[in-house]
Amino acid sequence: MVANDDQWGAHTQKKKTWYLTTPIYYPSDNLHIGHAYTTVAADALARFHRLYGDEVLFVTGTDEHGQKIAQKAAEAGKTPKDFVDGIVAFIQDPLWKTLKVSYDRFIRTTDADHIEVVQHVFKQLLDQGDIYKGTYEGWYCLPDETFWTESKLVDGKCPDCGRPVERVSQESYFFAMGRYQQRMKEYILSHPHFIQPPSRRNEMLSFLDSGLEDLSISRTGLSWGIPVPDDPAHVIYVWFDALLNYLTAAGYSSPSGQFENTWPPDVQLVGKEIVRFHTIIWPIILMALNLPLPERVFGHGWLLIGDTKMSKSRGNAVDPLELVEKYGVDAVRYYLLREVPFGADGNYTEESLRLRINVDLANDLGNLLSRTTAMINRFAEGRIPSLHTQRREIDRLLPDLAAEVYEGVENAMHHLLISDAIQQVYRLIRAANKYIEDRAPWKLAKDPAFREDLDNVLYNLAETLRVVSVLLTPFLIDTPDKIRKQLGLTAPIKSYREAIFGQLKGGEEIARGEPLFPRLDLHGDKDGSEVLTTGALLPNNPGAKAEPKPDGGTPGTEREGTGTVEEIGIDEFQKIDLRVGTIRHAEVVPSADRLLKLTIFDGERDRTVVSGIRAHYDAGELIGRQVVLVANLKPVKLRGIVSEGMLLAGSHGDLLSLIAPSTPLPEGARVK
């Protein structure tokens, strides 16, 4: 049964369901990370709103009719239904299941309730004169399933995708859109938030100004579609059918009252190439049905490969499941949500994904957790201390920033600025890492007079991590729980308000665990044998080969090849404290053309190491790399900077290569 007027009249006090949709994708092939991009973004919004206390209806699905699918099915030697059944099953599981997409309904345009809605709407619009029968003469873009008039073609090709179009001439039903042109324009002008981002709004206004023709909405000679009621020689145009999915999924045909409580959609996410369908054709259908229009249609940008849109038909698609297999679901979700400001186009490269993993996830977040838990273990017997009165201004820094970030994330998410929301969380994470440096708990621990200070610092760090675990919940799946487990917290996160600072009681027993994200070697695996064949200790200033080492290294120990080193016993070797560290920052030392100033996390603290590797490495490429550090060298001053160690590297002639573990290790791991 389709919603009738009585239902509109029924009033309920219930808070409106927050209704969010993605496009419904063509199951003509397996989907790629472009589709995952929209769907994971929608998932993050849905999770945020659930955490925020909203009743959410999050809908995604598949657009299964039309000529393109019929052709693909024929090529595969299957009936269209069998063909799409196979692909749809795959999209649901493993694809969306693996990416943890928490949709409430997966709608298929072959679902019975949808077919009922489409036929009902068609009939209603036909009865009221918004649909009429005529003859269509024009052009059709098969890959986009779009009709075009001669005047809109660009160089005789589809103006959207640039591909060839085919001539169509047939009897057709038309949707009388033209008559709504002015009303639609006024609506867009009087609802500045309807089309987002604003650049897409301007595009649509100029499209409307160029004239709006009636739309052909049926085809003959094609059986794979929803038949026009009482005229089965025609099937309903696939876009007309597809757009109505948003009504079906909201319960338009159901007598349950769900529709009244759900309509209109709060956010409709679409890629920028289908903004026109969603902000002109779709709202005009709704106007004709006398239904409220969606609050916001957001047209996000494209993931590109080089300069080209990633797409199934261009054959440059990247499989999200392969990435998850390699890097894990949270890393892939993080990348999709964080890398590109939502709305803009962005270039996909695997290197940029790996860099995000190393810098943001392994370094900034992973280190904060491992340093905090390591220090609580060491300085507070493994229990998060309770907070004492925070007497020092510096100790207010994290609570104050957390309050700012709480609002910042909330604000960004309400404006669909997902990447910005994540950046807000990272302001807090980075500030906490800096706070460790500034407060140097290992120094406070040396003097019992600073016991309360030390407790406060450790509390602030643990509490910041707890807050971060809540703030990250819409974006990452396993990580928030992993953080909480290490902090000794077991209760599941239920509300966004848990991200308010100060709720940790103190006394929780921490449980150190695996690093959150294994660090990746950004430059391919290093061959460990290099250490043995050319195992030179790289001094802070390797250019000065024969000079006495300012850091206390013995002259003459550096050589190439083998054979000139005097024998030492294992005892002597064991005097050298070699440890794995991670480079967190790297910068050029001004006025020293060979030197880089590195900040290296050694599992306990950040050390500064001045190293003469600038001729071989750019500062930027070093961040996130693991290195082997000679940790017990006496500090020396180089160019006014105290250098607290050396890096291990192999060298041969002009070649120089830093030595790193062949698979990532926790910082502080002994090298022996």
Total of residues contacting ligand ME8 (CB under 6 A): 21
The nearer residue to ligand ME8, 245 or 367, going by C-beta atoms, is 245
Q: Which residues contact 351 (CB under 8 A, 6 or more apart)?
A: 522
The minimum distance between CB 219 and ligand ME8, in angstroms, equals 16
Bridge partners of residue 651, in order along the sequence = 656
**Residue 81 among known ligand-binding residues:** no
**Considering the rule CB under 6 A, would residue 158 count as an interface residue with ligand ME8?**
no
The minimum distance between CB 79 and ligand ME8, in angstroms, equals 20
**Residue 158 among known ligand-binding residues:** yes
> Contacting ligand ME8 (CB under 6 A), which of 73, 126, 303, 538?
303
**Considering the rule CB under 6 A, would residue 445 count as an interface residue with ligand ME8?**
no
**Considering the rule CB under 6 A, would residue 99 count as an interface residue with ligand ME8?**
no
C-alpha torsion angle, residues 126, 294, 63, 56 (rounded to 10): -130
- CA-based torsion, 352, 358, 362, 367: positive or negative: negative
Greatest alpha-carbon span in the chain: 99
The minimum distance between CB 42 and ligand ME8, in angstroms, equals 9
253: DSSP letter: T
Q: What does the DSSP assignment read for 418-437?
A: HHHHHHHHHHHHHHHHHHHH
The nearer residue to ligand ME8, 110 or 433, going by C-beta atoms, is 110
> Contacting ligand ME8 (CB under 6 A), which of 65, 309, 333, 549?
309
**Considering the rule CB under 6 A, would residue 302 count as an interface residue with ligand ME8?**
yes
The minimum distance between CB 326 and ligand ME8, in angstroms, equals 20
The nearer residue to ligand ME8, 37 or 83, going by C-beta atoms, is 37
> Contacting ligand ME8 (CB under 6 A), which of 20, 117, 125, 270?
270
> Contacting ligand ME8 (CB under 6 A), which of 40, 208, 310, 658?
310
Residues 412/424, Cβ–Cβ less than 8 Å? yes
The nearer residue to ligand ME8, 25 or 136, going by C-beta atoms, is 25
Residues 92/31, Cβ–Cβ less than 8 Å? no
User: 482-511: which residues touch ligand ME8 (CB under 6 A)?
Assistant: none
C-alpha torsion angle, residues 103, 109, 113, 115 (rounded to 10): 170
**Residue 141 among known ligand-binding residues:** yes
Enter the tokens of residue 314.
Answer: 């261009």
> Contacting ligand ME8 (CB under 6 A), which of 3, 17, 20, 35?
35
- Dump strand ranges (E) for 161-314: 166-175, 195-196, 215-216, 218-220, 227-228, 231-236, 267-271, 296-300, 303-305, 308-309
For residues 190 and 181, give the distance between their C-alpha atoms in angstroms, rounded to a whole number: 14
Helix axes 451-471, 367-379, angle to 10 degrees: 150
> Contacting ligand ME8 (CB under 6 A), which of 7, 18, 20, 34?
34
| Site map 240..259 versus ligand ME8, x via CB under 6 A | --xx-x--------------
The minimum distance between CB 392 and ligand ME8, in angstroms, equals 48
CA distances from 80 to 66, 107, 198, 318 (A): 10, 17, 39, 25
**Considering the rule CB under 6 A, would residue 354 count as an interface residue with ligand ME8?**
no
Please count the other Cβ atoms lying within 10 Å of the Cβ belonging to residue 391: 10
**Considering the rule CB under 6 A, would residue 23 count as an interface residue with ligand ME8?**
yes
> Contacting ligand ME8 (CB under 6 A), which of 271, 366, 480, 624?
271
> Contacting ligand ME8 (CB under 6 A), which of 60, 262, 311, 473?
311
Count, residues in the chain? 672
**Considering the rule CB under 6 A, would residue 327 count as an interface residue with ligand ME8?**
no
The minimum distance between CB 381 and ligand ME8, in angstroms, equals 50
The counts of H helices and E strands in the chain are 25, 25
| Burial (Cβ within 10 Å: 0-12, 13-18, ≥19) of residue 209 | exposed
| Residues tagged in the binding site annotation | 141, 158, 161
| Residues tagged in the binding site annotation for Zn(2+) | 141, 158, 161
Which residues are at the interface with ligand ME8 (CB under 6 A)? 23-26, 34-35, 37-38, 63, 242-243, 245, 270-271, 273-274, 302-303, 309-311
